[in-house]
Amino acid sequence: MKILSAVAILAFLPQSFGLQGGFDDDYGHVKPICADKPITKTVNLDQLVDDSNNPVTVPCGFRAIAEHGSTYNITNGLEVLGELTFEDKSNSDKETILEAPYILVRGHLQAGTIDQPFESKLRFVLTEFKNFPNTHHNLTVDHDSSNTFFNHPHNFGDKAFVVFGGTVSLYGPPEGEKITAQLGKSVKRGGTNKFNVKGDWSKYWKSGDHIVMTGTTDYTEVGGT
């Protein structure tokens, strides 16, 4: 079972996924920061990474491409103002890994679409800040609004994957009809790392696959089968 996984997704605002209809500044609507700046330059993501202590930024007007099979260890955060896309190779076993203490999308991040699903392996890993190894360093984003409730910097905590006035497209290939199973019996949280499911899943699940077990109030991610 191929998956596109973000280790933590802490904040999605209504407009983040392009929902249309009665959102405006009175209700905290966040506009894309580069809405009026078309893409004019394409670069490799490596070209934007430097040795400074600043976050790696995909600027307005830029489309950055993450190379297939590469590991990007971005120690001070990633901010996508333009576009970030991921190279896809369907017949490869290599995994593309993006590690950062936070990922802030105010433009567009894409790995696959409905018409062209992403078939490679892709992983997002949220890490500690290199410059703040012993403290929590929260991500704070400025936002102007005519509504006083929203007209202040927003604090999203640490280890955050935030879509703030941007869009994200993460779309993997379908893996047959059976991707959701029912437990054979209830499992208590923290009680076991083994469980039984109804039905025969041997032809759908392979060693190394990941399973997300959902409950009535939260979810627990269980290791490979």
Q: Which of 111, 143, 138 is nearest to 124 (CA)?
A: 111
Q: How many domains does the chain have?
A: 2
Per-residue confidence at 188, pLDDT binned at 50, 70, 90? confident
Residue 93 shares a structural domain with residue 118: yes
Q: Residue 1 pLDDT more than 50?
A: no
- Same domain, residue pair 8 and 82: yes
Task: Residue 205: give the domain boundaries.
Answer: 179-225
Q: Are 15 and 69 in a shared domain?
A: yes
Per-residue tokens: 68: 């297939």
Q: What pLDDT is stored for residue 197 in this prediction?
A: 82
Residues 40 and 147 in one domain: yes
* Per-residue pLDDT, 172: 85
Assess whether 157 and 220 both reside in one domain. no
Q: Mark whether 156 and 204 lie in a shared domain.
A: no
Identify which has the larger pLDDT, 173 or 47: 47
Percentage of residues in the chain with pLDDT exceeding 90? 29
What is the tens place of the pLDDT at every residue in 142-172? 776 666 666 778 788 778 898 887 889 988 8
Reading the block at residue 188, the tokens are 């208590």
Q: Answer yes or no: do 164 and 141 share one domain.
A: yes
Tell me: pLDDT of 84 over 80. Answer: yes
- Tally helices (H) and strands (E) across the chain: 0, 18
**Lowest mean pLDDT across 58-72, 83-97, 205-219:** 205-219
Both 14 and 99 in one domain: the answer is yes
Q: What is the mean pLDDT of residues 41-50?
A: 93
Neighbouring CB atoms inside 10 A of 184's CB total 11
- Give the torsion sign (CA, 138, 85, 6, 24): positive
Are 157 and 117 contained in the same domain? yes
Residues 133 and 61 in one domain: yes
pLDDT, tens digit, 9 for 90 and up, residues 63-81: 999 999 999 999 889 999 9
SS3 15: helix
